[in-house]
Structure 1
Amino acid sequence: MKKLSLILVLSAVGIVQAETRPLPPIINNSTYASGAAYSSRATSNQPMLEMLGCVERLQTELQELRGLVEQQNYEITHLKQRQNNIYADIDARLQRIEMGRSATTTNSQRSTQGNLAIPAAQRKAAIEAAKPKPKVKTTATEKADFDKAFASVKNSHYQQAIKLFKAFLQDYPAGKYTDNATFWLASVYSVVKDKAAAKKNFAAVFTQFPKSEKAATAMLKLADIYLAENNTAQAKQLYTRISTDYPSSTSAHMAEKKLQSMRQ
């Protein structure tokens, strides 16, 4: 009986000690090897994601550039067609002018024969009356005449522009817009392929009006004509002169590029 009581007491003491023993700590596996490997994989994928983003942006930019190229090709085609139309229009106008001159000459001959029967005094009075009255020249009329001639250039009426600019230069040989009129007359001659007249008038711009805002551009245009004619010596001389006479102009920068291409 005593032994049984002793065994029960010892069992109760073991149970109490077992209940009071602390539990082992909870292990967080994310801080060990498997967690570290996951973090390493995420870090290694970041450059790949950035590269994919760059590829997408490049594809977008490539599509935009293709669109620009297509638009420029369309505009170039349109400009070529317009230029062909301009040349055809110029040829038609020249033919009409030549036909008109022939008809005028015939009518003039007939008129002269008819006038022989009129007394000399009456013929002289009629001639004087038929002469155009001198035009009153003012700053306002000069501006109006220049604008009228320049409008013909903008509307591609080149033969009319030549006629108006030549009349302008006769009326205002030293006017406010004389240098501009000379420059545009040379430009129109260049368009209609009258190279001799174009060279003469481009040279007149920087020779007669060296301080004009068109002087450097006129010199560059003249140099370009010489280069197109394979007169490289004359072209090189003018390109070099632009850099010397008008060093801060846009034309000087373009002339320097032309000289560099000629050296290659």
Structure 2
Amino acid sequence: MKKTSLIFLPFIFSSAYADVPVVIDHSLYPQSATPNNPANTQSTTTLYELMGRLEQMQSEVQQLTGKIDEQANRIDDLKKHQGTMYSDFDERLQNIENKANGVTANPNEVAKPSSITTNAKEVQPTTAAPVVVPTNSAQKANPIEKATANQGLKSQIDSPQSQGPDKQGYFMAYDELRSGHTAQSIEQFKAYLNQYPTGEYANNAQYWLGEAYRVNQDNASARKAFNDVLEKYPNSLKVPDAILKLGYIEVDQKNSVKATEYLNRVISDYPKSPAAILASKKLLKLNEAAPHEVAHH
């Protein structure tokens, strides 16, 4: 009986093992030897593509940021340069004013351009108007205190002969003012404005007409000309300069209260304009002079 049981025992165990499922453990194999799942392979490829695109976009953003920073620095440099030019120009004019009492200005003393305009309609000749002083020694001359330049727009300036009658008329009048022929320039500016009231250079002509009147010590006409700039051409780049010169006229008329209003208006309404720099300097001088005037009274 025992012998029979021992004979059938191996068959019983082999039958039991036959029913157990086969389990293969891949953890003992290298990753490369593990069978690939098509779905996992596609997901991994898509993930790598997205990561590559993300890195490319980050690189492009960094490049754009660098360019923006570079442009911002260039703009800041231009603003600083522009402000320096205005300050230097104003100081030169103040020195000329102090020496010009009853003396005819040297025609070779022509001020350098002092501002940068970005509107084609605001383009001025590259030579500034000269300082002209009336021969009447009883009155102190008030020369033109600012001339507008066209740096960065040289390609848009051609000789007047190469342009239409609109531009020719404006430059002819401006050349007369630049040459010291104030009376002729006034007549030509007025003729230009009558013929081209909405012309390309009408706002400039209106402004320089006021400057020509100031040279001739006709403050009433100059005041009207500058006010016309504000009323007829409110979007002109000459508006802050016109307000500034209205303030200067009030300074000449010893009306410090009205002058202060105009100068503060330039600073508050056009804080980034070169005219605001000149207005600030003029205000400082008015404030410095005020205690002396009170002391005299």
TM-score, normalisation: structure 1? 0.49
Using CA pairs under 8 Å that are at least 6 residues apart, name the structure with larger relative contact order, 1 or 2.
Answer: 2
TM-score, normalisation: structure 2? 0.43
**Structure with greater Cα Rg:** 1
